[in-house]
Amino acid sequence: MPLKWIDSLDIALDLLEKYPDTDPERILFTDLREWILALDSFDDDPEHCNERILEAVQACWIAEK
Residues 18-65: tens digit of each pLDDT: 999 999 999 999 999 999 999 999 999 999 999 999 999 999 999 999
* Domains, in order of start, for the chain: 8-64 (1.10.10.600)
Q: What pLDDT is recorded for position 18?
A: 97
Q: What is the pLDDT of residues 8-28, one digit of tens each?
A: 999 999 999 999 999 999 999
Cβ-based burial of 60 (10 A; exposed 0-12, middle 13-18, buried ≥19): buried
Q: What pLDDT is recorded for position 1?
A: 87
Taking alpha carbons only, the member of 29, 16, 22 closest to residue 61 is 16
Q: Are 32 and 54 spatial neighbours (Cβ–Cβ below 8 Å)?
A: yes
Q: Are 5 and 43 spatial neighbours (Cβ–Cβ below 8 Å)?
A: no
